[in-house]
Amino acid sequence: MKTHTLLMPLDMHIHFRDGVMLQRVAPLTSYCFSGAVVMPNLVPPVTTLEALKAYKQRIKNAIGDGGEDLDEMSVDAFEPFMTLFYKNYDRDFLESVADEIIAIKLYPDGATTNSDGGVKNFDIEVMRETLETMSELDIPLCVHGESNGFVMDREAEFMSVYETLAQNFPDLKIIMEHITTKDAVDMLDKYPNLYATITVQHLLITLDDVAGGMLAPHLFCKPIAKRPEDRDALLKVALNAHPKVMFGSDSAPHPQHAKESCGCAAGVFTAPIALQVLCELFDKHDKLDNLQSFISDNAQSIYSVCPEFKEVILEESDFVVPAKYGDVVPMYAGKTLKWSIEEVL
């Protein structure tokens, strides 16, 4: 039987939420990943050192509990890489938290789930002290890159903001999070300090899959899936192990009632199936040897991290995606994937 081994898989963009949801989803990631960059958009958002340390401890407690779906599966060797919600922080504060965080996450106000209180006006001079200090302290800036314009154009319209940031702060490492467009892919090679994460779903689906027939609420996320040419551009750089892109699931759990409602919450839950889906996708395109770079090596280089050792052995055998994990419906619920996780060492 065909197998493939991944070393120290990393998810460089994930939502663990808090409370009961945190208890449910965190062990699903810690089982098969060595680390994950945890988003700070709780309610209220994580903006202080005390809140950050307390949240990290809650994550570790949730991982230690093991999760109901994992039985006796090992959840050792996992590091939650913590982030703060962007504000115009002063130097003293940034120096005090630099050793506790991997990055700071910037949200435009109201752009996505729990982003109220984000940046309303991208005034570079107002932001300069914070961003220059982040540059000096080597703290990356992760950005949810969308404007407030027409939904299909929001990411494309945000490219000018990325250019302004990249030009004004050339020593600041800027991560374009969950990119969805050919414009964003083209931007990667324009500035040396721009990098990107790409999700599972945006490598696979277009807007037609979300809303072309009956609405598929469990495929609805922000940024919304775009056109076939956008998906193909993302797929090209991921499959070919472009050194400036890395995997970030943007796995975003919501309870079933919040997804299957008239006010469908934005977010696709992929944490427990991401590695299996990626193996199938890269294998289909005869690029399986490049998956290690996309899933770990590029992130290690970009973020200068050395993750906990973990070896994930996948095999080409059927895996039926559970209908639900607790009250969270995953992407491809009930469908059969061609790859499964055989063992985690």
216-270 per-position pLDDT tens digit? 999 999 999 999 999 999 999 999 999 999 999 999 999 999 999 999 999 999 9
- Interstrand relation of 311-315 and 340-344 (parallel, antiparallel or unpaired): antiparallel
* pLDDT per position as a tens digit, 264-320: 999 999 999 999 999 999 999 999 999 999 999 999 999 999 998 999 999 999 999
What is the structure's pLDDT at 110? 87
Q: Which residues, at least 6 apart from 62, have a Cβ–Cβ distance to it below 8 Å? A: 16, 22, 23, 26, 27
Has 250 been annotated as catalytic?
A: yes
* Per-chain mean pLDDT for the chain: 95
Single-letter amino acid, residue 131: L
Which tokens in the block code for residue 108? Answer: 């435009």
The structure's pTM equals 0.96
Is the Cβ–Cβ distance between 69 and 271 less than 8 Å? no
* pLDDT per position as a tens digit, 56-87: 999 999 998 655 544 444 455 899 999 999 99
* pLDDT per position as a tens digit, 132-144: 999 999 999 999 9
Q: What is the DSSP string of 103-130?
A: EEEE-BTTSSTT-TTSBS---HHHHHHH
- CATH (residue range 11-271): 3.20.20.140
Which pairs with CB-CB distance under 8 Å and at least 24 residues apart come from 54-63? 55/18, 55/82, 56/80, 56/82, 58/18, 58/22, 59/16, 59/22, 59/26, 62/16, 62/22, 62/23, 62/26, 62/27, 63/26, 63/27, 63/30
Cα 292–140–299 angle (5° rounding)?
5
43, with CB counted inside 10 A (0-12, 13-18, 19+), is: exposed
Which tokens in the block code for residue 229? Answer: 């040419």
Is the Cβ–Cβ distance between 6 and 312 less than 8 Å? yes
Catalytic residue, from 250, 283, 289, 318: name it: 250
| Residues 188-210, mean pLDDT to the nearest whole number | 98
- Interstrand relation of 35-38 and 79-85 (parallel, antiparallel or unpaired): parallel
Helix (H) or strand (E) holding 13: strand 10-14
Domain definitions of the chain by residue range: 11-271
Is the Cβ–Cβ distance between 161 and 145 less than 8 Å? yes
* pLDDT per position as a tens digit, 117-133: 899 989 999 999 999 99
